[in-house]
Amino acid sequence: MSSNGSYNLTADGELRYVVQWFGEWSDFQRDDFVPYLVSYLSQQVGSAVYVNGLISAMAQINPGQDKPMSLFQCRVKLFNEWCIKWPEEFKTKILERLEQIDHTFGTRIRTELENGTKPINGCLEEAGTQLTDTEPIRDLDEASEPNALIVNAESVIAAPNAILVADED
């Protein structure tokens, strides 16, 4: 322990802590940890990570916030601070150790790494929903026929706080 009261952990010590914490986490916490681990393993450290639809501002506490960070949030914050300093071979080490604790979790991480899926605002983009440059874009020119024709369209103006009344015939 140094004179200012802080502990100086080695990278191996930090890794052991993360593995120990993982063993204590619930399934929900492990799910919340997935994007952080995938980000670390895929060299995207420092980018914004989304958890349950919210950006990972867990490291930042709002001044007016009534609740302090949870123990889980503190541990994820430490992981994010530590992992950027870890040697490259720790990527293999941490994944192997977490797989020993939870094989299903390890399989999920490997699948996400292989597929290259990136959560955006808590949602994963489904394959085939994005336009690509190879898809034809239809140009409307003078020779093209309209799909529908609107005849006798009337403009409707609704007053603010309008009340709709049904007419009876």
Residue 152 placed within a domain: no
Residue 71 placed within a domain: yes
Q: What whole-number distance in Å separates Cα of residue 62 and Cα of residue 28?
A: 24
Number of domains in the chain: 1
For the chain, the straight-line distance linking the first and the last C-alpha, in angstroms and rounded, comes to 88
Of 69 and 168, the structure prediction assigns the larger pLDDT to 69
Q: What angle do CA 119, 88, 112 make, to 5 degrees?
A: 25
Q: What angle do CA 81, 84, 89 make, to 5 degrees?
A: 130
Residue 158 placed within a domain: no
Q: What is the DSSP letter of 125?
A: P
Whether the per-residue pLDDT at 54 is higher than 50: the answer is no
pLDDT at 86: 93
Q: What angle do CA 74, 77, 78 make, to 5 degrees?
A: 90
Residue 146 placed within a domain: no
Residue 144 placed within a domain: no
Stretch 58-73: mean pLDDT: 69
Whether the per-residue pLDDT at 38 is higher than 90: the answer is yes
Both tokens of 33, joined, read 């940890």
Whether the per-residue pLDDT at 28 is higher than 60: the answer is yes
b/e per residue, 85-124, with b = 16+ CB within 10 A? Answer: ebeeebbeebbebbeeebeebbebbeebeeeeebbeeeee
Both tokens of 106, joined, read 């390890």
Residue type, 13: G
Which residues, 6+ apart, have CB-to-CB distance to 68 below 8 Å? 61
Residue 2 placed within a domain: no
Using a cut of 0.75, tell me whether the model's pTM lies above it: no
Whether the per-residue pLDDT at 154 is higher than 70: the answer is no
Residue 162 placed within a domain: no
Q: Residue 28 is part of which domain span?
A: 11-117
pLDDT, tens digit, 9 for 90 and up, residues 138-149 = 555 555 565 655
Residue 157 placed within a domain: no
pLDDT at 160: 60
